[in-house]
Structure 1
């Protein structure tokens, strides 16, 4: 009989978005020696599956119904056989906070298969081997920086309609995006333009979140780098003042107020 850990890595996936959850399950299932033992869509389901399946590792989205991913990490750490945690998210600003929860890795969406394989390799290297705090922080920040550089090299642009042409806006040029009359309108310092093609605010949120955008309201996506001021408002909401010439005011919904405060702490 041997006390060496099994070479089979049993993984759980937790993400509230079915396409993202299915993709991660598929990517993990293609890695030799990995078995996906379940997939959860909420915080409560995640805890239940961790307790019932006892996975070696969990690939966890930051935003989960019922609890923030970082809070869920703290809950999982209290379990008798706590799994290794890899946070998989579109939000880059939680990397250092993730380190405090002893997460093994921090993967930004959209991810490549190779990036998930790298996270699996880190879990395997860590199993049964204590990792020092500085080394863990260094790995998380290095992975984050590599992903940021990859995003920058991609030269992402948002196409909009302007004077019969297709104008390409860099994310940093965009102040905010809004939904109006079933169309998406993109605002920069020079004006407002209809988004080109069949695009939704949900899709723009996924694409632009790594660039510092925040879903302030169901109908507004805001570039936090262009928020000039904010103030509390009735009903637990906030009002943002943008740094454009018109000093446009945008309301942060009550449901998004807590997340706005989290994001603001990182920026300040």
Structure 2
């Protein structure tokens, strides 16, 4: 069983590694204090299980778990944290995917046994619980998004997004300086964005209304919008015109 450990506190990593090494069939494929680096390596290392802390700077455990499952939803996720407040938010009291610090061998043994039973089942109950936990946590609470630039993971602030779009069936985020790939649908991306700053102006576009430089009248009573620092014009479709006008009171 290939396992990766992610925790911004090195002593916690070492404690968990020590316990897991007592299980003969577990191979620690990597341990990380940097969740972004962990996500980049997970793509290549292809672990079967990831133990990860929830409370981490830059990229918390819920955001990381979401990004991991977009890469491969067969990966088993185990949350590990010192704060039981997250257990109340995220899981049913009997869930096995949530362990508290400090770690105890008998508790981790139960987790490992249940993970073994779920290995190879891509729709197993454990990962359904994780997905529900992420949904309940609401990724809107995090103002950063994990995106891909070539083979690197970049964390971008939502305020720097100009617009999001779909091209050739793939979803991209456009900023003033770069174009980033997102392994998600435009509708799922919309759920993660701060609703008061972003507007679905077209089936293929979401715009950051704070980044609009100019509204340009177009044919058939529609509009194009020009974003700051961007030459491309983004269309506002007829079905969204009324809501668009209401935003700016015109």
| Alignment TM-score, normalising by the size of structure 1 | 0.43
| Alignment TM-score, normalising by the size of structure 2 | 0.46
